[in-house]
Structure 1
Amino acid sequence: MKAIPTKLKQCFIIEPSVFIDSRGYFFESFNQKTFNELIGQKVDFVQDNESYSTKGVLRGLHFQKEEWAQAKLVRVVKGCVLDVAVDIRKDSPTYGDYLSVELSDDNKKQLFIPRGFAHGFVVLSDTAIFSYKCDNYYNKASEGGIIYNDTTLNIDWKLPFDKLIISEKDSILPTFETL
C-alpha cells in the first residue's frame, strides 16, 4: 500500500497492493497501523457508511462543522465515481482549491480527506457502491454544504449539468462565498 500526496495538504490518494491470480484478486483495503504510518498522523475511524447510486447521481458537497468535523477514507466497491474534495480550512494555503479523483472498482484507489474539507462525488458508471470510513460520528445539527455548481469553485463534474441527479436538499446548498 502506498500514499500519494496531492496538491491539497494532508489529502492523500491511497493505492493498495493488489494481488491477482487465476482465482481473482485480493487486497487489504484497510490496516489502521499501516494507514497511520503512511499519512503521518493518527486517525481513528469510528463509523463506516455505504451508498448505492445510479449514473449521474451527485452527492455533495457536504461537510460537518466544528467539533463534528469528519476525516474520511473513501473508496468504490463497485462502479466508478468522480470524487471531489474541497479545502474549506480558511487558514490553509489551498483554501478554496479542490481535487478530483476517479475512484473505481478497477483502480481500487482510495482518497483520504482530512477534517476541514467539503466532499462530494458523482457516479460515472451505470451504478456504484461507494464506501467510506469517518473519524467522527455524524451529527445532523452540524451539517454543512456547498452547492455543486458553485461558480467560484467551478468544478468539472465530467457530466453535463442536465444529466445530474441532485437531491432537493443538495440543490439548495449555499455557495462557497457564503461559508
Structure 2
Amino acid sequence: MRVRELAIPGAWEFTPTVRVDPRGGFAEMFKASEFEQVVGRPFDLLQINSSTSAAGVLRGIHYTEDPPGQAKYVTCTRGAFVDVVVDLRPDSPTFGAWDSIIIDDVDRRWVFLSEGLGHALLSLADDSTVTYLCSLEYSPEFDHAVDALDPDIGIAWPTADREGRALHLLRSPKDAEAPRLRETAVARRGVA
C-alpha cells in the first residue's frame, strides 16, 4: 500500500496495490499494523456508513465537535468523488486550509481524516457510492456543517463530471444553509 500525507496534518491518502489475474482483482484495503505505523494509533471502528449520489451532489463540509471528535476512513466503491479535507482545528497552523484527492472505483484510494477535520464530497458520476468507517457513532448533538462554497475557504470545486459534462451542484437543505467558517463556534474558539 502506498501512503501519502495530505497538505492538512492528520489526513492521509492510502492507495492499495491491486493484484489482478484472470479471476479478477484483490487488494488489502486496511491493515491495522500498517495503519498504526503511519498514523501513530489504532483506528477504533464504531460505525460504517454508505451513501450513493448522482453526479453533482455535494455533501459537506461536515464535522463533529472535538472533543469527542470523529475520525473517518473513506473510500469510493462505485463511480468517483472529489474528497475534500478541511482543517477545522482552531489552534492548528493550517486552520481553514483544505486539500483534495479523487477517490474512485479504479484506484480504490482511501482517505483517513483525524478528529477535528472537516469533510466534503462531490460526486463526479451518477450512482457514485462512498463508504466510510467512523470512530464515533452518529451523535446529532455533536454533528455540524460549514458551507462548502464559503469563499473564505475557497475550495476549487470542479465544474465538469468524469465525462466532461457540466456539473450542477445539488446540496441538502442542511448543507445549503450551513454557516460560513467565520460564523461557526469552532472559529470563535480560535479567537477567544
Whether TM exceeds 0.5 here: the answer is yes
Match of 1:15 in 2: 15
Mapped to 2, the partners of 1:150 and 1:39 lie a distance apart of 30
Using the TM superposition, give the Cα deviation of residue 162 of structure 1 relative to its aligned residue in structure 2, in angstroms.
Answer: 7.3
Residue identity (%): 31
Mapped to 2, the partners of 1:131 and 1:162 lie a distance apart of 22
Mapped to 2, the partners of 1:115 and 1:30 lie a distance apart of 19
Matched-pair contact (CA < 8 Å) for 1:8–1:97? yes
Q: Which 5+ residue runs of structure 1 have no aligned equivalent? A: none
Matched-pair contact (CA < 8 Å) for 2:81–2:103? yes
Runs of 4+ in 1 over 3 A off after TM superposition: none
CA RMSD of aligned residues (A): 1.5
What is the identity, as a one-letter code, of the residue corresponding to 1:104? D
Q: How far does the alpha carbon of each residue in 1:14-56 deviate from its partner, in whole angstroms, 9 at most, with x for none? A: 0112101122110111222321123222221211110011111
What is the identity, as a one-letter code, of the residue corresponding to 2:118? A
Match of 1:137 in 2: 137
Mapped to 2, the partners of 1:62 and 1:110 lie a distance apart of 18
Matched-pair contact (CA < 8 Å) for 1:68–1:139? no
Worse-matched range after superposition: 28-37 or 124-133: 28-37
Match of 1:164 in 2: 169
Q: Given the two structures, how large is their TM-score scaled by the length of structure 2?
A: 0.88
Using the TM superposition, give the Cα deviation of residue 107 of structure 1 relative to its aligned residue in structure 2, in angstroms.
Answer: 1.1
Mapped to 2, the partners of 1:158 and 1:151 lie a distance apart of 15
The aligned runs of 1:1-179 (5 Å cut-off) are 1-159=1-159, 163-179=168-184
Using the TM superposition, give the Cα deviation of residue 7 of structure 1 relative to its aligned residue in structure 2, in angstroms.
Answer: 1.3
Worse-matched range after superposition: 21-30 or 38-47: 38-47
Worse-matched range after superposition: 61-70 or 33-42: 33-42
Q: Given the two structures, how large is their TM-score scaled by the length of structure 1?
A: 0.94
Mapped to 2, the partners of 1:51 and 1:176 lie a distance apart of 25
Higher strand fraction (1 or 2): 1
Matched-pair contact (CA < 8 Å) for 2:84–2:98? yes
Distance change >3 Å, CA 128–CA 162, structure 1 → 2:
closer
Match of 2:190 in 1: none
Mapped to 1, the partners of 2:139 and 2:151 lie a distance apart of 28
